[in-house]
Structures are given as structure tokens and as C-alpha cells.
Amino acid sequence: MVGIVGYGAKIPRHRIKVEEIAKTWGADAPSYKKGLQLTEKSVPAPDVDTVTLSVEAARYALKRAGISGTEIGAVYVGSESHPYAVKPSGTIVAEAIGAVKDCHCADYEFACKAGSEAMFTCLGLAKSGYVKYSLAIGGDTSQGAPGDALEYSAAAGSAAFIMGAENVVAEVLYTHSYMSDTPDFWRREHEHYPQHGGRFTGEPAYFEHITGATKAILQKSGMKPQDFQFAVFHQPNGKFPMRVGKMLGFTKEQIVTGWLVPVLGNTYSGASPLGLTAILDIAKPGDMIMMCSYGSGAGSDSFVWKVTDRIKEVQNLCPKTRPQLDEHKIYVDYGTYAKFRKKILKNK
Amino acid sequence: MFPSRTWRENPQRYRLEAVKCAKHNKVFFPPRRVSPGSLDGSSLKPYQLPNEGTIYTFTTIEVPPSQFKDSAPYVVGMIELTDGTKITCQVADCDPSTLKIGQKVKIEFRRVQTHGEHGVLSYGYKAVPAIQGVTTV
């Protein structure tokens, strides 16, 4: 049996409300809240970045796995906001959790599906027996240009998963990847903020790839949407995952547990992985979970997970995902947010 | 700052690795190489500090050194960890006016210094209040 041995999530404490951003730009907050179906988003403080969030998530994953960092043989960090342009995030994470020095390590990038890329690779390593335990992380401190629609949703958070073949809490039964060259969202070298194709990010991009990957894995597994207790799809806003779920035959009840975006925002590479952690927090043995990521550029990775009896032993060992969203919150105004995100031009 | 300075201290800054003197049952952090009263370090064994504790005392820095000027005001505290060891570090994610001595904290991995726009990023430990609830700044 191969799958998730331990998992963890980390969400920063600071938040900004849609009204606060809309007030700054003279925009209509109710329209944005209705259009994006989100009310607030997480904000990373200046001392928080993809690496710090990933280290905390990884420490929780280790605790749930019941292993030490020295037992980790591979570390992969998927993000589009690695703190360095040249220097891996993974080495810092590995050093911080003690997974040094006999360890394979790499940073992944594939827009918002870099995290599920890392998960896919780690599952392969576990299945082949090449590495006993490997660590996959999806996390971001997402960028959104001032005044752009993305600014209302670009958020921060990280999810970590330890994959292995012993003491599994969620077995992977099937995977499927689906991709094409679709330029719906990009950021060129040396650009601070990403560009996007507006409505082009919808039908030919997000919906085409998520439906493609999910239909293929349903066919591969011979399963139907009704066979799953939970489903989580990439969540760039509140509307898209609910709509794509409905298109595929999933109900709101199946999606709502991992649907974090209304109060978290879009955590890019962390989006569907964080949704999976929220599901694992409350899942029961035998529950089936459909997961499908989406990364612009573009592609989707889908996974069918089956929760094992061991889940009950690990759920309460670390802070769960929903309580991190609902408690410990510190609301900031736009000025503080702009300072935190380095949106203010200063004299050198 | 030259990168070797922070690199050399990775074990203590990243993983709270201390040493404990087997002879005197005393914890040293940052780790020492020679135990006081001894001529060598043979009695010093690796020791992992816990990552929870309480605020022993603290002060608010209003006029910081230049590399921290964008963070002011910020709190530097002495944290008494659950094993009794005391460490000094920043207390992040807090309103200095509501912080209390004896308040429970958790030690988290954070950026400590950024060395301008081009320098190496220094990571390490900070305390954060282990409180629940919602505040506004």
C-alpha cells in the first residue's frame, strides 16, 4: 500500500478583507465578493515566506507520520513564489526539519500545480521502493498586482505530505495527469506580478484541464462521482471549483469540506493540497477522496485517495486546517498589507 | 553579512539544537564546545530544545538598528521553554500592547534578516503567541 503517511498545513495569521482592498481602489466590494465568492484572504507577514510556511507544514507532517526528519530521503517543494530566483527552497526546508544530508532535493514549478507535481513524484518514489519516505510540499505567498482582480484572491499557505509504503493514512489508488500548452497565466523573468488572459483562464484552461483529468481518472478507476465522500478541485476563487464539480457530477456537500478559498483566498500551489488536508482532518476510515489540481500553462493532476484506519490516530496530533483559518486571525488595513507585500516604492 | 556566518549557525537557528552537560546536567544554548569547569567538551551531548514555552520577560523595540527599521515597533522577549531553558528571540504576530509575561508561546521558523534586496536570506526561530481569537491592526 502506497500513499500519505503524514500531512500538515500552515496558514499565516494575518488577513485582509475584500472590502479593505476594494475601498483603496474605488471598486465595488459586493460585486467582487459575489463574483469571486470570497470574503477575505490570508496575508504573509514580512518574516513569512514559502519556505517558513513549508517548514511548519512539514514539521506537522513529520509528527503525524511518527518519523524523524533523518528518515526523509527526498524533499520536493512546489511553488511559484520561491524566495530565491537561484537557490533552492528545498534545501532550507530539509535543513530545518533535519532531513540532511543524505537526501534528494528539488524545487518544482508549474504555476498552481507545482505542489501536486511534488506529490506525484513522491508517490512514484514510494511505489518503486526507491525512497522509503519522501516529502512533497505545495505552498505559495502568491502575487497579485495592485488593483488587479488577482489582488483580491492571491493568498498564502502551505501543505506538506510525507509519502511512503508503511503506516499509510490515505492510500493512493489511481493518478492521472492531463496537460497542454495553454498560455492562460504567466510571469516573465524579472517581472514582479503575473499576467493573465482574463476570461481565457476559464473554459479552455481551468475547466478543460480539470474536467479532462477527472473524467480520465474516473474512467481509469471505473468509479462514479457518487462513490466519493469528498472532492477537492483547484480553487482560484470560490466559484470555479463549485462549477467544475457540478459539471462533473459532484455535489456541493462533497466539495464544501475542502473548499477553503472563501476565507483563505487562492494559495496557488497550496490550493488543492490544503483542501486535501482539511478533508483528511475529518475523514473516516474507508472514505474515498477525489483530488484534482490545476496549474496554468496548463495542466491538472488527479488522484483517488482511500482513507485508512490509521487516520484516527493522527488527526489530533497537530493543529488542523480549518481552526487555523477560523482562529488566531489578525486583520490588517491596506496600508499594512501594502507594506507587508512590498508594494510601496521606497528610496534606495 | 557574509553567508558563512548564518550557515555556521544553521543547526541552532533552524532546529534549536543545544548541548547538555552530562556532568552538571546543564543545557547550553547556543551550544558550547567546552563545558564550564572542564578542559574539553566530552561531557557535552546534543540536546533538542522543545518548541513551546512562556514569555519570561520582554521589551518593545521602538528605535531599531537599520536592518530592522521597517519592522518597528517589534518585540524581543526572553522565552522560558517547557524544559526550563531560556532563549532570547523576537516575538512575532503580536500586538506589543496586549502581550503579557507568562503568556504561552510557540517557537516558529521565520525569516530573521533579509540583508537588503540582494543579500542572503537568514532564517531562524521566533516566538508567536499561542492564543486564539481575532485582533485588528
Express each pLDDT in A148-180 by its tens digit: 999 999 999 999 999 999 999 999 999 999 999
Backbone phi, psi, residue A169, to 5°: -100, -25
For this structure, is A80 an active site residue? Answer: yes
User: Which residues on chain B are in Cβ contact (under 8 Å) with A97?
Assistant: 15
A55, A98, A329: residue with CB nearest B109: A55
State whether CATH 3.40.50.10160 applies to domain A173-307: no
Residues from A contacting B (CB-CB < 8 Å) are 13-14, 45-49, 51-52, 55-56, 59, 83-84, 92, 95-98, 327-333, 336, 339
State whether CATH 3.90.1570.10 applies to domain B51-137: no
pLDDT band at B132 (very low <50, low <70, confident <90, very high): low
User: Which residues on chain B are in Cβ contact (under 8 Å) with A190?
Assistant: none
User: Which residues on chain A are in Cβ contact (under 8 Å) with B68?
Assistant: none
d(CA A328, CA A317): 19
Q: What ipTM was estimated for this complex?
A: 0.95
- Nearest Cα neighbor of A335 from A16, A28, A40, A42 is A16
Q: Which residues contact A107 (CB under 8 A, 6 or more apart)?
A: A76, A77, A78, A79, A82, A88, A89, A90
pLDDT band at B136 (very low <50, low <70, confident <90, very high): low
Q: Which CATH number fits domain A3-169+311-340: 3.30.300.130, 3.40.47.10, 3.30.750.24, 3.30.360.10?
A: 3.40.47.10
d(CA A257, CA A139): 19
d(CA A264, CA A15): 8
d(CA B5, CA A346): 28
* pLDDT tens per residue, range B36-56: 877 788 899 999 999 999 999
Count of C-beta atoms within a 10 Å radius of residue A198: 9
- Nearest Cα neighbor of A306 from A287, A291, A319, A325 is A287
Cβ atoms B14, A96 nearer than 8 A: yes
Query: Could you give the dihedral angle defined by the CA atoms of residues A32, A241, A293 and A190, in that order, rounded to the nearest 10 degrees?
Result: -10
Q: Which residues contact A31 (CB under 8 A, 6 or more apart)?
A: none
- For B81-91, b/e burial (b = at least 16 CB within 10 A) is beeebebebbb
pLDDT band at B3 (very low <50, low <70, confident <90, very high): confident
- Nearest Cα neighbor of A278 from A323, A344, A221, A313 is A323
pLDDT, one tens digit for every residue, chain A (348 residues) = 999 999 999 999 999 999 999 999 999 999 999 999 999 999 999 999 999 999 999 999 999 999 999 999 999 999 999 999 999 999 999 999 999 999 999 999 999 999 999 999 999 999 999 999 999 999 999 988 999 999 999 999 999 999 999 999 999 999 999 999 999 999 998 888 888 888 899 999 999 999 999 999 999 999 999 999 999 999 999 999 999 999 999 999 999 999 999 999 999 999 999 999 999 999 999 999 999 999 999 999 999 999 999 999 999 999 999 999 998 899 999 999 999 999 998 887
d(CA A74, CA A88): 14
**Which residue of chain B comes nearest to A335, CA vs CA?**
B137
d(CA A115, CA A112): 7
Are A51 and B123 a contacting pair at CB < 8 A?
A: yes
CA distances from A227 to A274, A309, B28 (A): 22, 19, 56
* pLDDT tens per residue, range B88-111: 999 999 999 999 999 999 999 999
Cα-based angle A195, A265, A214 (whole degrees, multiple of 5): 80
pLDDT at residue number A120 = 98
The ranges assigned to domains in chain B are 51-137
DSSP code, position B68: G
Cβ atoms A116, A137 nearer than 8 A: no
d(CA B50, CA B83): 7
